[in-house]
Structure 1
Amino acid sequence: MPDSTHPAILSQARAHDAWQAHLRLGFAWRDGVSRLVERTHSGPLRVQKPLYPEGGAVCHAIIIHPPGGVVGGDQLAVDATVGEGAHAFLTSPGAAKWYRANGHVSGQHIVLRAGSGATIEWLPQESIFFNQACVRLRHEVELAANANYIGCDIVCLGRSAAGEIFNQGSIAQQVQIRRGGKLLWWEQGMLAAGGPLMASPLGLAGHTVCATLIAVGRPLAAAVLAALREIEVPVGAVFGATHMKSLVVVRLLCGDSEAARRIMLAAWLLLRPAMLGRDAVVPRIWNT
């Protein structure tokens, strides 16, 4: 029996039937606990029950996309607001899979907000872009003047383990982060499969995995920044960490998604206690 989740079968079955999915989450600090107080959705986006592996101070929410993959034309949106003093940790149960476009553009729009003294962490697992995917990604973060944020994005181009090369399609990304109404980070770009940025030293330099972690919080001590820069990376990988006042950016180019996950985890283990004032507790879902 053929695999019904294979992109070719999905594309044939749903060539004119795109999913529009939206998930809205709200978190609030009540009775000494960060509580999930709003959970509304339309289309195939869900969140499991709130989890508290760190105690009541941090609410963990696992966002699930039941179809298991995004086909051309699908549009996903997540809107999460963390109220004053609360702490929300958002992740996913596995890699996101972006299948071929079939003439339609897929998209994802993430909007994250954190109120006074609040913290939001956006740490999904990696995204795999199949050959011929055509995707537009927007990520917006709005923080109060004393709110905190950590977000990570791991992009994998093609299925290198299967010998697939990302030589058709495109990925457009836009990221903006504001704190206290001031713009801290703005980045946008378009990566055309097979285009010059794939090989250019100003782009991916021939690598197929790109990972970025951005943290906003307390000023970072020089010793922590030095430790970040000492994280071991594979031979041939490109890795760096930049500190700009209340913002730290960690970046990696390599050819191995497992290595990227390991390195971004090592960075998070250093940055979370240093910038958020809370020990890093690795979610169990990351080990399954």
Structure 2
Amino acid sequence: MLHTAGGLVGGDRLSITANLDTGSRALLTSVAAQKIYGSIGRCREAPAGRWAQQHLQFNLAEGSDLEWLPQELVLYADGLFEQHCQVELAAGASFLGCDVVRLGRTAAGEGLGSGRWRSALEIRRRQNGASDWVLADRTELADGGLAGEHGLAGAPVYGSLVWAAPEPLAPGALAALLAECRQDRAGLEGEMACGALEPGLVARYRGPSSQAARYWFTRIWARIRQVRGLATPELPRVWPFQERPLG
């Protein structure tokens, strides 16, 4: 997916909708990292800043498969960004999504300042005439959450990966998948953890390196493909500095 601007500024709003038909499969990614510029204190009319917002709506029909794997987001000092992602799954549909965000241009000695990053992920599955929650995940990174041990503990990079599996895995298969994903942390800097989702898994990263987060999530992506009996992922040519081969 292409974005023609050099980045988002306060007040910008993006909306992305994908409707997958029965049995269809898609990989959606971005051609480059997304930049969010600072808005706090930049405008006399809105000294508190304006939010840049992104709304994602993914509707997956029965047996369809969506992999939403954008490149990382870079939130500049005093930037405000809010994302709301809604995923509607039919029976047998699979959703794999991830986010990697760098808070401040740390290579230039810049932190997030008074900026703020918010994310709301909602996944529901429709089956047997009902709509049931798979996951409701809300995160906000700012202020004390950047330094606190229950937040980022001073790390500038946060990552989250979620897989809503098309059907529950056998307990032994799920345990083996989680063990392999944890082994895949080897050689990567930062703190990484993963656990079971009913059905599927959730993985989190915090640390100094967006590349390490991307490497780990890509390894997990390959593991999930393997468990599902699918082909090994072919890395998009627009992704920079990726492991070849995977792992």
- By the TM > 0.5 criterion, same fold? yes
**CA-atom RMSD, angstroms?**
1.6
| Structure 2 counterpart of 1:105 | 51
| Structure 2 counterpart of 1:51 | none
| Structure 2 counterpart of 1:188 | 138
- 1:284 matched to 2:234? The reply is no
Deviation string 1:197-237 (CA, Å, 9 cap, x unpaired) is: 111111111111011111112425322221101112545x2
TM-score by length of 2: 0.85
Taking the TM superposition and a 5 Å limit, the aligned residue runs for 1:104-253 are 104-180=50-126, 181-192=131-142, 195-217=143-165, 218=167, 219=169, 220-231=173-184, 232-235=186-189, 237-253=190-206
Q: 1:173 to 1:276 in 2, by over 3 A?
A: farther
Q: CA deviation at 1:276?
A: 6.9
TM-score by length of 1: 0.74
Q: Tell me if structure 2 keeps the 8 A contact 1:233–1:239.
A: no
SS state at 2:114 partner = coil
The number of aligned residues is 223
* Structure 1: tracts of 5 or more residues without a match: 1-62
Q: Tell me if structure 2 keeps the 8 A contact 1:216–1:248.
A: yes
* Structure 2: tracts of 5 or more residues without a match: 43-48, 242-247
Q: Following the alignment from structure 1 to structure 2, what is the Cα–Cα distance between the partners of residues 64 and 81?
A: 18
- 1:257 matched to 2:195? The reply is no
2:7 to 69, 80, 93: 69
AA matched with 2:108: A
- Runs (4 or more) in structure 1 with deviation over 6 Å come to none
SS state at 1:228 partner = helix
Q: CA deviation at 1:246?
A: 1.4
Q: Following the alignment from structure 1 to structure 2, what is the Cα–Cα distance between the partners of residues 139 and 250?
A: 17
Greater relative contact order (Cα < 8 A, sep 6+):
2
Q: Tell me if structure 1 keeps the 8 A contact 2:134–2:198.
A: no
SS state at 1:132 partner = coil
Q: Following the alignment from structure 1 to structure 2, what is the Cα–Cα distance between the partners of residues 119 and 68?
A: 31
Deviation string 1:23-63 (CA, Å, 9 cap, x unpaired) is: xxxxxxxxxxxxxxxxxxxxxxxxxxxxxxxxxxxxxxxx1
